[in-house]
Amino acid sequence: MKNASSGGIPRHIAVIMDGNGRWAAGRALPRSAGHGMGVRTVKQVVEICARRGIEVLTLFAFSSENWQRPREEVSMLMNRFLEALDDEIEGLHRNGFRVRFIGNLPQLSTPLRERMEAAMTLTANNTGMTLVIAVAYGGRWDVAAAARELARRCVAGQMQIDAIDEGALDAELSLARHVPEGLADPDLLIRTGGEQRISNFLLWNLAYTELYFCDTLWPDFGERELEAAIGHFSRRQRRFGLTPGQAGAR
């Protein structure tokens, strides 16, 4: 069910951060420079969303398809991700953020998984904005994993086949297990970089989400661009005459 927003502000924003490589190429810089600037943008967007009262921010950091990139680039991305996690987790904790990771995490290196688990444990009891980072994530993988878990329960005699419905499947998806109750489905999806597709991201959870595509490359995405996306969401809410209590029924 689609989440109810409050006062035209989305409670849950999801972002496909696209354009780091093209940003670097346009400046004759290595791709690593684009990813470095992308990390800076992540920090800014997290801070802005927290100030705006966004309750959940989900970032698509590394897709299951990204494993097909050149080995050197994948290694660079993983190392940069590890460095960013080490640099930022204490500050996120001090500011009350709750950090969660979703995806096929067993595919990741042991040091990275250990840092992720430590970050989630450290921030588990925080009550500020929930920051969800999707790593080695794919929407089809997510649905298949949830289906396998329900099938396992049926085989073990823990549930009946007839009990498998939308609610049962929804409860086993990654977001439902990692965000506050009632906030699993994003109200607004933002994709930067000019592409207009969801690229296997949160396939189930985006069923009723407002989609916003912009040409701005991720390293150049700032407060003005974020406010434009939120404004788009707010105008759509007014266009359909939805009040916060009605948004979930659409």
Which residues, other chains included, contact 152 with Cβ-Cβ below 8 Å and sequence gap of 6+?
A: none
Q: Do residues 199 and 17 touch, judged by C-beta distance below 8 A?
A: no
User: First vs last Cα of the chain: how many Å apart?
Assistant: 9
Which residues, other chains included, contact 42 with Cβ-Cβ below 8 Å and sequence gap of 6+?
A: 17, 59, 84
Q: Distance (Å, rounded) from C-alpha 98 to C-alpha 121?
A: 9
Q: Do residues 75 and 35 touch, judged by C-beta distance below 8 A?
A: no
Amino acid at 74: V
Q: Phi and psi at residue 105, in whole multiples of 5°? A: -60, -30
Instruction: Determine how many CB atoms are found less than 10 A away from the CB of residue 170.
Output: 16
Residues that are catalytic: 18, 66
DSSP per residue over 14-50, as a string? EEE---HHHHHHTTT--HHHHHHHHHHHHHHHHHHHH
Angle at 43 between CA 40 and CA 44, to 5 degrees: 90
Q: Distance (Å, rounded) from C-alpha 218 to C-alpha 68?
A: 21
